[in-house]
Amino acid sequence: MKNKFSSTAFTRCGPLIGTCIIVFSFHIFIFLDHPTRFLQGLITPSVIIPMLLLMAIAIMVGYVIGYIPAYITGKLFLQIFGNKLANANLFKVIAYGGFISILWAPIILILMQLSKVNILLFLYLQFIFILPITVICAVMEWKKLAPH
Confidence of residue 148 (pLDDT cuts 50, 70, 90): low
What's the confidence (pLDDT) of residue 116? 86
Task: Give the pLDDT score at 135.
Answer: 96
DSSP H helical ranges for the chain = 9-30, 35-42, 45-81, 90-102, 105-115, 119-123, 131-145
pLDDT digits (tens, 9 = 90+) for 16-71: 999 999 988 888 887 888 878 777 777 888 878 888 899 999 999 999 999 999 99
For the cut 70, the answer to whether the pLDDT of residue 104 exceeds it is yes
- The pLDDT of residue 1: 43
What percent of the chain clears pLDDT 70, i.e. is strictly above it? 94
Spell out where 13-148 has E strands. none
- 147 vs 45 pLDDT, higher one: 45
DSSP helix/strand/coil, 9 = helix
DSSP state of 7: P
pTM: 0.85
* Mean pLDDT estimate for the chain: 88
